[in-house]
Structure 1
Amino acid sequence: MSLFNRFLAVLFTCVSVASFANEPVEIFWEDLVPEGHVTVDTRNSAASHEGAEQNWVQPNLDAPVVQKYNGKTVSLPGFVVPLEGDSEVITEFLLVPYFGACIHVPPPPPNQIVHVTIADGVPIESLYDAIVVTGVMSAESWSGDIAKTGYKIKGIGVAPFEL
């Protein structure tokens, strides 16, 4: 093998390893709950929208989180609860496992909500549609008016969720 061919082989290997290292880890909501911990499901909880104040309390505020994805680039499907943005793009939102969480029903536990920020923002065409967020995850808490989260993602991309 010539020196040039060896160089190309080494270069190809380095590029392949580097691109593989940046491939996002595909995760799902059950991956964010430590093994053996039971998650409270709030989807069937009744909520009244009378008055200005929400009438529910977020359950299990000290729900444990998984540290394994800290600093890793991940892809996670879910639904958007917008926090910051304008009519064109959103720059900050909560990613939740099912439609209506935090708005129409009580929020899920913090280990089932992710606070997402995307510097340049992304257009979200419909809040009814599931999306996939890709970005760097941290097991870091965030608190706002409507919920406390157990995770954050510094987003680098959003795409429609496809089965």
Structure 2
Amino acid sequence: MKKLTTTLGLSVALFSAFSVHADTQEIEWIDLVPAQEQAMIREATQPFLAEHSWDMPEQNKLGSVRKELDGQRVKIPGFIIPLEGDDEIATEFLLVPYYGACIHVPPPPTNQIIYVNSPKDVSAQGLWDTVYLTGTLRTKDTSTDVADTGYQMIDIEIAPYQ
């Protein structure tokens, strides 16, 4: 009976762990942009493709968040911009869609930056490479010295991008 109880307990634990991860949605950066802004971006870039001229919408018209993503568990690839820590670890950082965003160029729109303040240290392994960040997405504005953000992520896991 003890062996059966242990086996059932292990099975329930494994099923529970699988259920938590089964609810994780893998997304791309464009998925953080509301449909209306996606249409504005497509319209602005179509002349660029045909005529090599590009009249991008003003940044203040871009940057809205998708409120329906609030509280969703997601997995997204990106690059880490450390805010707190040193060359070895970071506990507060921004996740951005491309290398160098927010450092040598103006920051992307706020819906293309995710703020993370984590009790888990991010090792140097994740600071300069592309990573997958998995966690609970929050639609909450944050202002940092580097950039303003429209999203936050909590309860994170970090893995190498593959």
Q: What is the TM-score with the length of structure 2 in the denominator?
A: 0.72
1:64 offset after TM fit, Å? 1.1
1:14 offset after TM fit, Å? 9.6
Q: Which has the higher helix share?
A: 2
Describe the SS at the equivalent of 2:31. helix
Return the alpha-carbon distance in structure 2 between the equivalents of residues 126 and 157 of structure 1.
11
Question: Any residues of structure 2 matched to 1:59-74 within 5 Å, and which?
Answer: 59-60=59-60, 63-74=63-74
1:60 is matched by which residue type in structure 2? N
Among all aligned residue pairs of Structure 1 and Structure 2, give the percentage whose two residues are the same amino acid: 43
- Cα distance change on mapping 1:15 and 1:143 into 2, 3 Å: same
- Cα distance change on mapping 1:14 and 1:124 into 2, 3 Å: closer
Return the alpha-carbon distance in structure 2 between the equivalents of residues 127 and 59 of structure 1.
28
1:92 is matched by which residue type in structure 2? E
Greater mean alpha carbon deviation, residues 24-33 or residues 124-133: 124-133
Q: CA RMSD in A?
A: 2.8
| Pairs aligned (count) | 138
1:63 is matched by which residue type in structure 2? G
Q: Structure 1: any 5+ residue segments left out of the alignment? A: 42-57
Return the alpha-carbon distance in structure 1 between the equivalents of residues 17 and 125 of structure 2.
33
1:29 is matched by which residue type in structure 2? W
Return the alpha-carbon distance in structure 2 between the equivalents of residues 99 and 83 of structure 1.
15
Contact 1:61–1:109 under 8 Å retained in 2: no
1:142 offset after TM fit, Å? 0.3
- Cα distance change on mapping 1:130 and 1:15 into 2, 3 Å: closer
2:114 is matched by which residue type in structure 1? V
Q: Structure 2: any 5+ residue segments left out of the alignment? A: 46-57
Partner residue, 1:121? 121
Describe the SS at the equivalent of 1:111. helix
Return the alpha-carbon distance in structure 1 between the equivalents of residues 120 and 14 of structure 2.
28
- Cα distance change on mapping 1:132 and 1:21 into 2, 3 Å: same
Describe the SS at the equivalent of 1:60. helix
Contact 1:61–1:110 under 8 Å retained in 2: no
1:71 offset after TM fit, Å? 1.2
Q: What is the TM-score with the length of structure 1 in the denominator?
A: 0.72
Return the alpha-carbon distance in structure 1 between the equivalents of residues 145 and 19 of structure 2.
39
- Cα distance change on mapping 1:61 and 1:133 into 2, 3 Å: farther
